[in-house]
Amino acid sequence: MFYSSNLRDTVLLDPLSLAPDTLKIVSGYASDTMLSWHITRIAEQYHVPLKILLIVGMCRSEGMSEPLHKGFKELMENNNLPNHSKAVCQYVYEGAPVHSKLYLWEKDGVPIKSFIGSANYTQAAFFGGRREVMAECDPTSSQEYFSNIESNSIYCNHAEIGEYVTFYTPSSISNFARDFSQGMVNSGLEHVTLSLLTYKDEVGEKSGLNWGQREGREPNQAYIPLPAKIARTGFFPVFQQHFAVVTDDGKQLILRVEQQNDKAITTPLNNSLLGEYFRGRLGVANGAFVSKQDLLNYGRTDVTFYKIDDEQFFMDFSV
């Protein structure tokens, strides 16, 4: 079978009806935002955790983005919530670079369905932004191919990964970070500033940074309020796509727009990560209620996002 539409469901979700336990992927290029979206979607819609083995193929010849590498490591090492699929990320570091794209589903070690084609494991490929084609192929041959590529790969969190793969910071990020550190933030990048206060000019008691401050919830759960007029502009990705954020203090987060009418920005894999981040910046204890005075003591009550590209943003909470 040959597919040129609805690839996201056909390749990445529909095979779950076969009750697999493992998805093996070889992709020339891949993104942490795609992996984050996939793990979240499987957990929210299917509640059946998998093992996702991802091999990124073009690292040996082209290197790997440092922010992207950090994202893969974070997803591999710190994604421990119930019902969340476990990810293992590997990079091809010897032999010929691998530009192929293969998706292989297995159950109890037996290959049951596989696809091959043009779509990299990225949101750009699977969310309709490009024309891609995929075709079903022989699962047994796919399993043999994956094993062959895996023998030339190394885990992304290997202690000596830097000796085998070259990491770099994309110029779009490094240039902005340089300008930002020098106070030159008006670089022409589109940006928005979002208030952390409600329309009553207060911190929400059970919303925003205090979303988790209610019985039965993890108290660090939080979101950044997103006004409808900004959500409708297309500044942030919608339709539950994930996007990566580098912060002014050098941290990295994966976020998405969610809730009714796209009114909130969250850390989708774990809604507590955003609350922990802001409490750390504010000097407030983990799990504690965040007051308006906490923000005033820190020095600001809003946060600014700069759009580097469709999936990469810079978040400024500096004072």
pLDDT, one tens digit per residue, over 99-140 is 999 999 999 999 999 999 999 999 999 997 789 999 999 999
Tens-place pLDDT, residues 51-99: 999 999 999 889 999 989 999 999 998 887 888 999 999 999 999 999 9
With a pLDDT cut of 70, the percent of the chain lying above it is 97
pLDDT in the model for residue 54: 98
* Residue 182 in this model has a pLDDT that exceeds 90: no
Where does the pLDDT of residue 169 fall: very low under 50, low under 70, confident under 90, or very high at 90 and above?
confident
Q: How many CB atoms lie within 10 A of CB 54?
A: 25
> Where does the pLDDT of residue 239 fall: very low under 50, low under 70, confident under 90, or very high at 90 and above?
confident
Given 3.90.1200.10, 2.40.340.10, 3.30.870.10, 3.40.630.10, which CATH number is that of 2-168?
A: 3.30.870.10
Separation between Cα atoms, residue 206 and residue 214, nearest integer Å: 6
Q: 109-113, 144-148, 151-155, 228-232 — which is least confidently predicted?
A: 228-232
Segment 6-21, tens digit of pLDDT? 999 999 999 999 999 9
pLDDT at 79: 82
8 Å CB contact between 270 and 81: yes
Residue 181 has pLDDT above 70, yes or no: no
Written as one string, the DSSP assignment of the chain is: -EE-S-HHHHHHTGGGGG--SEEEEEESSB-HHHHHHHHHHHHHHT----EEEEEE-SHHHH-EEHHHHHHHHHHHHS---TTPPEEEEEEE-SSS----EEEEEEETTEEEEEEEES--BSHHHHTTSS---EEE--HHHHHHHHHHHHTTEEETT-TTGGGTS-EE--HHHHHHHHHHHTT---SS--EEEEESS-TTSS--SSSGGGTT-STTS-TT---EE--HHHHTTTSS--TT-EEEEEETTS-EEEEEEESGGG-EEE-TT-THHHHHHHHHHHTPPTTPPPPHHHHHHHT-SEEEEEEEETTEEEEE---
What pLDDT, on a 0 to 100 scale, did the predictor assign at position 82? 81
Residue 183's pLDDT is what? 65
Q: Using the structure block, give the residue that is written with the tokens 């990295």.
A: 252
**177-197: average pLDDT:** 77
Model-wide pTM > 0.75: yes
pLDDT tens digits along 246-289: 898 888 899 999 988 889 999 999 999 999 999 999 999 999 99
CATH 2.40.330.10 residue ranges in the chain? 173-316
CATH number of 173-316: 2.40.330.10
Q: Are strands 264-266 and 224-225 parallel, antiparallel or unpaired?
A: antiparallel
Q: Higher model confidence: residue 67 or residue 22?
A: 22
> Is residue 184 pLDDT above 80, yes or no?
no
Name the segment(s) of the chain with CATH classification 3.30.870.10. 2-168
Read off the pLDDT band of 302 (50, 70, 90).
very high
Average pLDDT estimate for 226-243: 92
> Does residue 179 register a pLDDT over 80?
no
The region that residue 6 occupies, defined by phi over 0 for left and psi between -120 and 50 for alpha, beta otherwise, is: left
Asked whether the predicted pLDDT for residue 307 surpasses 70, the reply is: yes
- Please check the confidence at residue 176 and state whether its pLDDT lies above 90: no
Can you give the pLDDT at residue 238?
83
| Averaged pLDDT of the chain | 92
pLDDT at 188: 72
Residue 177 has pLDDT above 90, yes or no: no
Q: For position 187, what pLDDT does the model report?
A: 61
